């Protein structure tokens, strides 16, 4: 295997992913490489920082933790197969919240976070609204937010007891969004996000 230029048509594992010692940002979708844009836009970074700040302030001294990209989230097909060479899906969500801290290690998160937030751009909108949506649903992410900087909207999905995402709403303007995984104890004011 060429560790500098892996073949985009070949299937890889997280063990392979760890050998790629270059500056190219990649994710693995069921073993297949998806290249990421080199750096997000300034607006993307502003929104990410605003959301991290809000969540961090709420979660300070609580059980759950917030993390932001770049940070690997590994999605094993089955929770018993946690060896690096058995993990085929590795994503870097823009933000994620984990309440089961046993899923965390020095390399990121192993298993589904409780909440994931993706901030879309024109170049990655299909990945976030379709590809990642399906992966997050399949692996049991409890809540998924899709943030659109251009429209200044947030679309929220919550996993039901059948393992399917249900649309909770699209929020904009001065809307306030209750964070479902916290049973409404945290409410995000969009005026603090889209500043």
pLDDT in tens, 67-111: 999 999 999 987 665 789 999 999 999 999 999 999 999 999 999
pLDDT of res. 78:
74
Give the start-end residues of each E strand in 17-173. Answer: 26-29, 32-35, 65-68, 72-74, 90-91, 95-98, 104-105, 108-110, 115-119, 143-148, 153-159, 165-172
CB 24 within 8 A of CB 15: no
How far apart are alpha carbons 146 and 170 in whole angstroms? 9
pLDDT of res. 1:
43
Residues 6+ apart with CB under 8 A from 7: none
- Please give the mean pLDDT across all residues of the chain: 92
Enumerate the domain spans of the chain: 41-74+90-193
In DSSP terms, 154 is beta-bridged to 147, 171
Beta-strand relationship, 115-119 and 143-148: parallel
How far apart are alpha carbons 50 and 55 in whole angstroms? 9
Provide the CATH topology of domain 41-74+90-193: tt1808, chain A (3.90.1570)
Tokens (6 digits) for 10:
């070949």
pTM: 0.93
């Amino acid at each position: 295997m060429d560790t500098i230029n892996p073949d985009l048509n070949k299937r890889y594992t997280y063990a392979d992913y760890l050998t790629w010692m270059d500056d190219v940002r990649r994710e693995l979708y069921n073993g297949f490489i998806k290249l990421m844009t080199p750096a997000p836009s300034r607006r993307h970074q502003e929104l990410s920082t605003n959301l991290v700040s809000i969540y961090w302030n709420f979660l300070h001294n609580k059980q759950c933790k917030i993390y932001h990209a770049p940070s690997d989230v590994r999605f094993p097909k089955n929770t018993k197969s946690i060896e690096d060479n058995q993990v085929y899906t590795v994503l870097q969500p823009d933000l994620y919240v984990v309440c089961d801290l046993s899923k965390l290690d020095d390399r990121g998160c192993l298993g589904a976070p409780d909440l994931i937030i993706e901030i879309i751009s024109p170049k990655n909108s299909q990945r976030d609204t379709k590809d990642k949506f399906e992966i997050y649903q399949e692996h049991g992410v409890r809540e998924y937010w899709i943030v659109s900087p251009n429209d200044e909207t947030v679309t929220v999905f919550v996993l039901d007891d059948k393992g399917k995402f249900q649309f909770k709403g699209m929020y904009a303007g001065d809307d306030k969004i209750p964070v479902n995984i916290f049973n409404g104890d945290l409410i995000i004011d969009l005026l603090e996000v889209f500043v």
